[in-house]
Structure 1
Amino acid sequence: MSMLTTANLRRIGSQRRLVTGLVITVVIALMAIVGPWLAPHGENDIVGKPFTHEGSWLGTDYLGQDVWSRLLDGGGSILLISVLATLLGMVVGIMIGVVAAYIGGWLDETIMRLNDVALAFPQILLALLVLTAVDQPSWWMIVLLVGISHAPRVARVSRGVALGIVSRDYVTSAEALGESRLRVILAEVLPNMNAPLLAEAGLRLTYSIGMVAGIGFLGFATNPGAADWGQMINENRLALLVQPWGVLAPVIVIGIFTVGTNLMADGIAQLAGRGD
């Protein structure tokens, strides 16, 4: 077991994309988690005149609040919602894709044609259609909308991976032994899909972050008064030439984080390819 673990660690360490992406992702996540305790001011404290270089090193925003403090305070919600939405989309999409591949026949055809219809709708447009119908969106509503919008894409990928597994000998042997379909899926099919699904999860997390930030930018934040990276961009965009850090700081952090998750997803995919 120790030799296997050491070999796996060496394989992971040899993937520079994976290691670099993992480090970037962890650093930004830690910033979002411990940031509120490191912020020099409260997220709603007025520390100077609007759009000046008072306060800390990033200056003030449209109300005179400290940009650096709000940047440290504003990451927790967007990352939590993005992670939960990614988990929801992965679980629902994997269930749909694996069931369709395993059962096959007319049910597979029906599920995937309905899935194609769902894929035709732009993700952000579907979310906005629902959010415009409510006065103040809740965090769970954004999680649900973003997660469900990921499900058809995850279903397409998971079905493609599962099709290459359901016909293998160990799956046929499990069926011949009288194992239930649910047990065959859980014990034989899903464990052999780990690497491709992890890569897909990294990609979905990247899209979740961009989508949640975009929803906040368009004015659908769950708490209009709280610090939020997407909302910060919208609040300070009119003074971009006067005090750019109110916009550039959250844009840079979101961009770095999405690069990290993309590198991590690419590294996992390369690692899976070598493992094959």
Structure 2
Amino acid sequence: MAPGRFVLGAVLVCVPLVLALCGPWFAGAPGPRAASFTLGDGHLLGTDFVGRDVGRQVLLGGRPVVVVAVTATALAYLVALPVGLIGALTHRRWLEDALMRPLDVLLAVPSLLMILLVATVFSPGPAGLALLVALVNVPDAARIVRAAAADVAARPAVEALRMQGESWWRVAVGHVGRSILRPLAADAGVRLTGVLYLVATAAFLGIGVAPDAADWAVMVDRNRTGLFVQPWAVVVPALLIVALTMGCNLLCDAALTRTRVPVHADVRGVGTRMEERRP
């Protein structure tokens, strides 16, 4: 593991995460509002477009973005993993087509366009936004899981496990799932970055959050008109979002530099187990 990359990624991730998770505990009660887009006057980072303290809004605004993004990413993989594994390991072509072809149709629709279309029908809250973002990420994630798993499923070790009567769960999860952790880790870092920006863009457009909510993406949107008068109301939340996404990718890259176990060692282990089971 690359120590420098890991340390930098950990620092970039920890700062926004700590602010997002612990910030509301230290935000305190709201004080009296001042003039819009002012600096000083007892406000360390100035005031926002309606005169609220920017520092307090930063402490309150990270949790919605982080919670929705992490939840959406986890939900996407919760659906994509079994779908991709079944599609890669099944010998029934009709089952693979039934699972993957509808996802190809969803993949043809741009993610933001689908969110906007759904938002015109009903106004999703944070939970609805997490489900919607997860839904638009399932097709791509499932295809990546299937592609990675299909390569592993074609190896002699998997055929050996099947011949010795191992259960589907052990083959799919115990062997294939473990073997694709590296590509999934790489995809998870990129996907979390895309989900964060998608959630931030949705909040920027007013989807899933109130127009005056304490949210980092909303802060960037609502305060951009005063960028050259009071830049901290835009720069600080934007930098926190960028730091979180960059840090996640650096941590995934650092984790992927670990030494990989040779594939032939796993094959020899399977062959040894088969020899032990022979009468």
Same fold flag (TM > 0.5): yes
In structure 2, list runs of 5 or more residues that go unmatched.
Answer: 263-279
TM-score (norm 1): 0.85
Q: What are the Cα deviations for residues 47-81 of structure 1, in whole angstroms up to 9, with x where unaligned?
A: 42111113422100111100011011110111011
- Does the alignment pair 1:17 with 2:5? yes
Contact between 1:48 and 1:55, CA under 8 Å: does it hold in 2?
Answer: no
C-alpha displacement at 1:112, in angstroms?
Answer: 3.3
Structure-1 residue corresponding to 2:249: 262
Q: What are the Cα deviations for residues 15-58 of structure 1, in whole angstroms up to 9, with x where unaligned?
A: 5333422331122211211112333x54x543421111134221
Contact between 1:55 and 1:66, CA under 8 Å: does it hold in 2?
Answer: no
Structure-1 residue corresponding to 2:35: 49
Contact between 1:221 and 1:231, CA under 8 Å: does it hold in 2?
Answer: no
C-alpha displacement at 1:260, in angstroms?
Answer: 1.0
For the pair shown, the structure with the greater C-alpha radius of gyration is 2
Write the mapping of 1:28-177 to structure 2, written as runs, cut at 5 A.
28-39=16-27, 41-42=28-29, 44-53=30-39, 54-104=41-91, 105-135=93-123, 137-177=124-164
Residue type of the alignment partner of 1:119: L
CA distance in 2, matches of 1:121, 1:15: 40
C-alpha displacement at 1:234, in angstroms?
Answer: 1.7
TM-score (norm 2): 0.85
Contact between 2:193 and 2:248, CA under 8 Å: does it hold in 1?
Answer: yes
Query: Using a 3 Å threshold, how does the CA distance of structure 1 residues 45 and 225 change in structure 2: closer, same or farther?
Result: farther
CA distance in 2, matches of 1:106, 1:236: 52
Paired residue total:
260
CA RMSD of aligned residues (A): 2.1
CA distance in 2, matches of 1:46, 1:55: 11
Structure-2 residue corresponding to 1:250: 237
Query: Using a 3 Å threshold, how does the CA distance of structure 1 residues 221 and 181 change in structure 2: closer, same or farther?
Result: same
Q: What are the Cα deviations for residues 80-130 of structure 1, in whole angstroms up to 9, with x where unaligned?
A: 111110001112112221111101434334533333222211111111211
Query: Using a 3 Å threshold, how does the CA distance of structure 1 residues 188 and 178 change in structure 2: closer, same or farther?
Result: same
2:204 to 194, 217, 225: 217
In structure 1, list runs of 5 or more residues that go unmatched.
Answer: 1-11
Residue type of the alignment partner of 2:34: G
Aligned partner of residue 132 in structure 1, secondary structure: helix
- Does the alignment pair 1:241 with 2:228? yes
| Stretch of structure 1 that moved more, 44-53 or 212-221 | 44-53
